[in-house]
Structure 1
Amino acid sequence: MTAALFEESTTGLLKVDIHRVGAVVVCRMTGDLYLDTLSQAEHALEAAAADLPPLLCVDMHQAQMCDATGLGLLLRLSVRVPLAVVDPSHQVTRVLQLSEVSLALRVFPTVDDAIEALHRMDQGNGPASSNASIHSAALDAGARSSAPSARRRRH
């Protein structure tokens, strides 16, 4: 069940909707996450993480772009609060793969999948013991093997 929206932050380039699914906080990003929108994204995500939820899901399905500053923000937050990137767009998926940030962040196809993994971790029933160990269908074996970094390792 989704609780009412408690924050919405919008500029012409980025919209961030924040809501709760139980105790989990979900931030839906629409638009571009890069240097010009970093301050807005940081403000919204910091507010969402302030109460240290058991999981902060960043839904990036509607994110058209994410640069190194956006990746840095996600990585910094993942140190403070359990963070999952959810349903990244094709463009964001490629950035996660090429930068190898997908090895450090948990990525899931849906919020429900992220919540299920959290429950498995809480119960000790699953390999989901660190940010680096969970990968979604969005970063499945086929997608990972096509990344340049995967090809480099074989040489």
Structure 2
Amino acid sequence: MDRRPNDAARPPVAGLRALTARLGGAGLCRLVGDLDLDTAPVARAALARTLALPCMLLCVDLRDVPFCSCAGPNLLLAARTTTRRTGRTLVLLAPGTSVLRLLRVSGTAGLFAVHPDLRHAVRAFRRRVAAARPAGPRRTAPQVGRGPGPWPGA
């Protein structure tokens, strides 16, 4: 008797679930499950939905991605290219050790800002935007009796 399991008895391939939303002024794409060549279309569609949101900050939450193949960095790099082309920012939220290791090995880790959660990402983004604003003319009160000039106290 053949003891090898047939295809019908094998468990289904782990899938990837994706959620997209606009929260706190940021676009959020949360991925849950393994990110590989089989599940890349699900991630690609979710990233496309997130990129369509009218937000300057786009966050990809990877905290629930236990496995990531080379498909992951490829998708993230494509999304990053799109956001940069449109003047927006893409950040990663809480990537696990396997995702971080793959980004380091592929030489792409330095291309992504990483934050522990959405709140920290939004706060950092707002600080960066505020720091980039050009400083307007400084209004100072006139200093009576100080400074150069022929007046007393100068």
Residue by residue over 1:75-128, the C-alpha shift from the partner in whole angstroms, topping out at 9 and shown as x without a partner, is 111122211110011211211222221111111122111111110111116xxx
Identity percentage of aligned residues? 31
Query: Secondary structure in 1 aligned to 2:95?
Result: coil
- Please list every run of 5 or more consecutive structure 2 residues that lacks an aligned counterpart in the other structure: 1-12, 84-88, 133-154
Q: Which has the larger strand fraction? A: 1
Partner residue of 2:118 out of 88, 111, 130: 111
**Aligned in 2, Cα 1:79/1:53: closer, same or farther, shift over 3 Å?**
same
The structure with more radius of gyration: 2
Give the equivalent residue in structure 2 for 1:46.
Answer: 48
In the TM superposition, residue 62 of structure 1 has moved relative to its aligned partner by 0.5
**Superposed CA RMSD:** 1.7
Give the equivalent residue in structure 1 for 2:72.
Answer: 70
Give the equivalent residue in structure 2 for 1:124.
Answer: 131
**Is the Cα contact below 8 Å between 2:59 and 2:92 reproduced in 1?**
yes
In the TM superposition, residue 12 of structure 1 has moved relative to its aligned partner by 4.4
Query: Secondary structure in 2 aligned to 1:77?
Result: helix
The equivalences for 1:4-153 within 5 A come to 12-81=14-83, 82-124=89-131
Residue by residue over 1:17-46, the C-alpha shift from the partner in whole angstroms, topping out at 9 and shown as x without a partner, is 122212201111111111111111101110
**Is the Cα contact below 8 Å between 2:14 and 2:34 reproduced in 1?**
no
**Is the Cα contact below 8 Å between 2:61 and 2:94 reproduced in 1?**
yes
Q: Which has the larger helix fraction? A: 1
TM-score, length-scaled by structure 1 = 0.68
4+ aligned runs moved over 4 Å, structure 1: none
Residue correspondences, number: 115
Query: Secondary structure in 2 aligned to 1:35?
Result: coil
